[in-house]
């Protein structure tokens, strides 16, 4: 895997600077309630997970990523009694059916080669009235 994905400093300058900025705006826009179970798909080094833990009144935040480096990074640097980290891709979410109230995914969906199984997994893991939100870069817009 490219070094910029496995080195916190390189990752921060490449992706983290965007993640931190956008996650706050995204969570405000999501505007969901209190006491919910969240799932962050493709948590990376945890910018969105951290923003959820810091700004939302959650019951639990489950964060998954297929990169062992990223999951270990989150476990070490974003420990929280409400946080759980699992090594997993979106194609096989390690949760029972109808487990989560909110599913979020920041800057990830464009990296998933086969999106349909991933979307089926989102649907399976979500409770019936769950809220699902995601964002990716505007590649044709103001990328700098």
Ligand X SMILES: C[S@@+](CC[C@H](N)C(=O)[O-])C[C@H]1O[C@@H](n2cnc3c(N)ncnc32)[C@H](O)[C@@H]1O
* All residues at 6 or more sequence positions from 27 whose CB lies less than 8 Å from its CB, including other chains: 51, 52, 55, 56
Minimum CB distance to ligand X smaller for 33 or for 115: 115
Using only the alpha carbons of the chain, give its radius of gyration.
14
Q: How far is the CB of 7 from ligand X (least distance, A)?
A: 13
Minimum CB distance to ligand X smaller for 122 or for 130: 122
Classify the phi-psi angles of 8: left when phi > 0, otherwise alpha if psi is within -120 to 50, otherwise beta.
alpha
The continuous run of DSSP H or E covering 37 comes out as strand 36-41
Q: How far is the CB of 25 from ligand X (least distance, A)?
A: 12
**What are the structure tokens assigned to 100, written together?**
């989560």
Q: How far is the CB of 18 from ligand X (least distance, A)?
A: 8
Q: How far is the CB of 59 from ligand X (least distance, A)?
A: 21
- Interacting residues toward ligand X by CB under 6 A: 15, 19, 41-44, 47-48, 65-67, 70, 89-91, 106-108, 111-112
């Amino acid at each position: 895997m490219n070094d910029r994905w496995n080195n916190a400093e390189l990752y921060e300058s490449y992706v983290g600077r965007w993640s931190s900025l956008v996650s706050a705006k995204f969570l405000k826009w999501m505007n969901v309630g209190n006491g919910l179970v969240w799932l962050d798909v493709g948590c990376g080094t945890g910018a969105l997970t951290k923003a959820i833990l810091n700004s939302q009144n959650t019951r639990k935040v489950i964060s998954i990523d297929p990169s062992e480096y990223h999951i270990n990074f989150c476990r070490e640097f974003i420990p929280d009694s409400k946080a759980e980290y699992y090594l997993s891709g979106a194609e096989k979410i390690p949760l029972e059916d109808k487990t989560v109230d909110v599913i979020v995914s920041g800057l990830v969906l464009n990296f998933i080669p086969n999106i349909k199984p991933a979307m089926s997994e989102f649907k399976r893991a979500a409770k019936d009235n769950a809220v699902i939100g995601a964002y990716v870069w505007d590649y044709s817009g103001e990328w700098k």
